[in-house]
Structure formats: C-alpha cells, structure tokens
Amino acid sequence: MARVALVTGGSRGIGAAISTALHQAGYSVAANYAGNDEAAAKFKDQTGIPVYKWSVADFESCEAGIKQVEADLGAIDILVNNAGITRDGMFHKMSLDQWKAVIDTNLNGLFNMTRPLWEGMRERNFGRIINISSINGQKGQMGQANYSAAKAGDIGFTKALAQEGARKGITVNAICPGYIGTEMVRAVPEEVLNKSILPYIPVNRLGEPEEIARCVVFLASDDSGFITGSTLSANGGQYMI
C-alpha cells in the first residue's frame, strides 16, 4: 500500500510542486488549501490529487480535516507543513493583525497540524514531518519581523520534536528555501527584488518550486531515516550556515 502524504498549502506555489512530486514518487497524496477554490479545483483537475479546504491557523479545523483525509486515504505517514503567508511591512508600520496572521499560519499552523497526527505516528512507529521554513527564518529579513520570527520558530520546533520522535521512527526536518519564483516572491516590489535580493543570490537566479519538492521527496523516503532535526538550506548560496 502506498504511504499517505498530506501537504498543507499544497495546491499552489511550492506546495503544488511538492504534492505533484510526491504523487509522481508513488505516494497517495492529499493537498490541503485555505482559500483559493479556483486554483485548487484547477490543480485537482490537472493532477488528480484530491484537495481539502481548511485553515491551518485553526486547530479544530485541522483536527476535522485530518480525520477526513484519513477516512478517505488511510493513516497519514508524511506531513509536509508548507502553508505560509506573508504580511510584509517595516516594523514601525506593522499592525497587530499583520503580526498575528503570520504567526497563526506560519508557526501555530505547525502545532495545529502536527499535534493531531503525532500520536498515530508514535503508535505506528513511523512518520515523516517536513517543515518548510525559510532563509528569512535563518538570517532575518527587513520588512519581515513577523515572518522571520515564525520561520525561526519552525526551526526550533523541528529540532525539539526530532528528539522526541527519534525513538519512535519519526523524523522531523526543516527545509529553508531561499527566494523561489512563486507568486509570493513575485509580490515583492520589482525594484526591491532587482536591487536588494537578486544580486545577492550567487547562482544568479530565483529557485524553482521543483527544486524544493525534490528535497521533500528525499526527506520523505526511507533513505533519509538517519536524518532528523536537520535544516536543509536550498537558497542558491544566498546564505550559508
């Protein structure tokens, strides 16, 4: 039986590439999404991957959504916490709403999604949790105090949980993408992108969603069983730790 993978924010951007790559690698995939029905329907038509709508920012919705996916596809073996949003702004202009929205989705979302799955993975002695953090959680980014804080939190969460899961066959890893050519990055003002970001990427281009998806496929596989608590940077050399 194919292993079951759930990808949050899995119908657009990096998430769509991850869902597709896992599907092509033989997993039974469910793609969660929060808002864009049209994009989700199109994604489902094009890939055959079932889509499920709920917000990762809401714990009860996550519990209910996960229950539904497990009823449809079976117990979830692989969770990719990919869903993320930006509400960029210099801190002196940042509202409480901008702060809370990003923390609720990008950090609390990891608790909301992982907690309901954790006990089942422990019982089955197998699990793969892959958290999509960001280069900006590693280095900090002006205009992103909220996002950088959440993404740095994702790395701490990964390292703590990896220690708890290790003896139960559950690996927990983070991937830190750099600037990838998705809608999120294309929303950055062109002048900022050209002047302040692109010149600092040594490989001299934005990354492609598929380049992140291939990292996920590796971390989801049995081949990666000795890798846990790690942070895999995929950023074109922009930031090295």
Cα separation, 116 vs 136, whole angstroms: 28
Structure tokens at 29: 């995939």
The three state secondary structure string of 150-177 is HHHHHHHHHHHHHHHHHHHCEEEEEEEE
Count Cβ atoms below 10 Å from residue 87 Cβ, excluding itself: 17
Residue 207: CB partners within 8 Å, gap ≥ 6?
A: 177, 178, 179, 180, 181, 234, 235, 236
Nearer to ligand CAA, 3 or 12 (CB): 12
Instruction: Name 234's bridge partners.
Output: 177
Give the nearest distance from C-beta 28 to ligand CAA in angstroms: 28
Nearer to ligand CAA, 137 or 165 (CB): 137
Question: How would you list the strands of the sheet with 4-7, edge to edge?
Answer: 51-53, 28-33, 4-7, 78-81, 127-132, 170-177, 231-234
The type of residue at 232 is L
3-state helix, strand, coil in the chain (%, to 5): 55, 15, 30
Give the nearest distance from C-beta 191 to ligand CAA in angstroms: 7
Nearer to ligand CAA, 1 or 96 (CB): 96
Nearer to ligand CAA, 86 or 114 (CB): 86
Cα separation, 163 vs 158, whole angstroms: 9
- What are the residues binding ligand CAA (CB under 6 A)? 86, 88-90, 134-136, 141-144, 147, 177, 179, 184-185, 188-189, 192, 195-197
Cα separation, 22 vs 218, whole angstroms: 10
Closest chain position to ligand CAA (CB): 143
Give the nearest distance from C-beta 149 to ligand CAA in angstroms: 12
Residue of 27, 33, 52, 147 with catalytic role:
147
Backbone angles phi, psi at 7, to 5 degrees: -115, 120
Catalytic residue status for 52: no
Give the nearest distance from C-beta 82 to ligand CAA in angstroms: 11
Give the nearest distance from C-beta 95 to ligand CAA in angstroms: 13
Nearer to ligand CAA, 70 or 104 (CB): 104
Instruction: Please list the active-site residues.
Output: 147
